Structure 1
Amino acid sequence: MEVTTIDDYVATMNIEPKAMKIDIEGFELYGLQGAKTTLDRYHPYLCIDIHEDVKTGKSSLLGVQPFLEALGYDVQMKEHTLFCTPQGAE
């Protein structure tokens, strides 16, 4: 199975994402780390299903929330889904 980062995919496909849905079963933080340039450049809206982190066994929210807030996102958790809005967006 071939894998790539979101940053590499966005650059290769020459796209400007406006929104992203992420459901990667405990790999949320690691996927977002591979999207840092994309998130910083395009500030897409995000909808992320939150699961237990595959390495720590704790909620991936513990790493995801501060990571996204540092990139300028407002986050709101509803049940197991994290809704992320770029700060200043309407």
Structure 2
Amino acid sequence: MSTVDEFDDPDDIEVVGWVDDLEVQRGRTSDLIFSVPELVSWLSRYVTLEPGDLVFTGTPAGCGVRRTPRLYLEPGMTLTTQVAGVGTMRNPISR
């Protein structure tokens, strides 16, 4: 687990995504429309957040429909997301 004091700038953290071995996104939390504190504040009005909860926000950089050629997740692929200073999450795609 990471705490906010472990980051040089907790409002500017790199997020990278891969589909299988292809890097498909590289962005920073500072590029999100709303800051992470704003998102957590809004969400916590409606749900109790517990340590270890994940909040999925969408992406600060790119999506498959805007790629040329387009890229859609399909069964058998693996989506990997890495957040600098936090860790890596791997999600196999299935039906």
Given the two structures, how large is their TM-score scaled by the length of structure 1?
0.20
Q: Which has the higher contact order (CA 8 A, sep 6+)?
A: 2
Which structure shows the bigger proportion of residues in helix conformation?
1
Given the two structures, how large is their TM-score scaled by the length of structure 2?
0.19
Which is higher, the Rg of structure 1 or of structure 2?
Answer: 2
